[in-house]
């Protein structure tokens, strides 16, 4: 798949919601968006990103996991213009959904990270570790170990940090890439 051309077809966060979200979807996404906060340290970290990152997000306005995660991406992108995020509707993009399938299905949100020159750097989604831990505890009970320590923060704070960690990992990959360091002379 030509991810460069696909990225250029994508929608901004607001345009995605306007096109695919009903009034109720938009209300739910707005509610979570208002709850997401980045700490000063998180904003400072994001502000220090120097390499352009292209991020394709396969989502569904109707999807509960997307409601609870995609607003985080909008906050991350707002912290640094080097982070360029484009959204795609899973049902309108079956070829992309197939390319980004997870565990044998077109699960959302699915995120694909690209370098500035459109090389694949990583994939992440559909849920973070904190969310899976919560689901395991809720669905499987105490018999399913979910980590050494219970999270001290809210689930939203943990999920935000886990997504931020992935964005940072990709940024560090881009920053330390010999190919990109040669290209940028740094």
pLDDT, one tens digit per residue, over 110-146 is 999 999 999 999 999 888 777 767 777 778 776 655 5
**What mean pLDDT do residues 46-62 have?**
98
The pLDDT, as a whole number, for residue 96 is 97
The pLDDT, as a whole number, for residue 115 is 98
The pLDDT, as a whole number, for residue 131 is 73
Q: How many other C-beta atoms lie within 10 A of the C-beta of residue 75?
A: 19
The pLDDT, as a whole number, for residue 143 is 60
**What mean pLDDT do residues 6-24 have?**
98
Q: How far is residue 176's CA from residue 172's CA, in Å, rounded to a whole number?
A: 6
What does CATH list as the number for 3-184?
Answer: 3.40.30.10
pLDDT band for position 59 (cuts 50, 70, 90) = very high
Residue in the block written with tokens 């997307």: 66
Residue-wise pLDDT for 17-32, tens only, equals 999 999 999 999 999 9
Q: Where are the domains of the chain?
A: 3-184
Give pTM, 2 decimals: 0.91
**What mean pLDDT do residues 70-76 have?**
98
Contact 101, 113 (CB under 8 A): no
| Lowest-confidence pick of 38-52, 69-83, 152-166 | 152-166
What is the C-alpha end-to-end distance of the chain, expressed in Å? 31
- Strand, helix or coil at 57? strand
């Amino acid at each position: 798949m030509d991810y460069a051309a696909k990225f250029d077809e994508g929608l901004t966060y607001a345009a995605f919601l306007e096109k695919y979200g009903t009034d109720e979807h938009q209300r739910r996404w707005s509610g979570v968006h208002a709850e997401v906060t980045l700490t000063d340290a998180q904003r400072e970290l994001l502000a220090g990103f120097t390499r352009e990152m292209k991020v394709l997000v396969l989502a569904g306005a109707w999807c509960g996991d997307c409601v609870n995660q995609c607003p985080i991406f909008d906050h991350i992108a707002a912290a640094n213009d080097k982070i360029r995020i484009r959204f795609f509707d899973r049902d309108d993009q079956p070829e992309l959904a197939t390319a980004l399938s997870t565990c044998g299905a077109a699960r959302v949100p699915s995120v694909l990270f690209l370098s500035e020159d459109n090389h694949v750097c990583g994939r992440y989604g559909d849920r973070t570790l904190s969310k899976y831990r919560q689901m395991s505890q809720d669905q499987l009970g105490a018999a399913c170990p979910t980590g050494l320590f219970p999270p001290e923060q809210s689930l939203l704070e943990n999920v935000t940090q886990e997504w931020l960690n992935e964005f940072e990992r990709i940024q560090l990959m881009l920053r330390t890439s010999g190919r990109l360091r040669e290209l940028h002379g740094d």
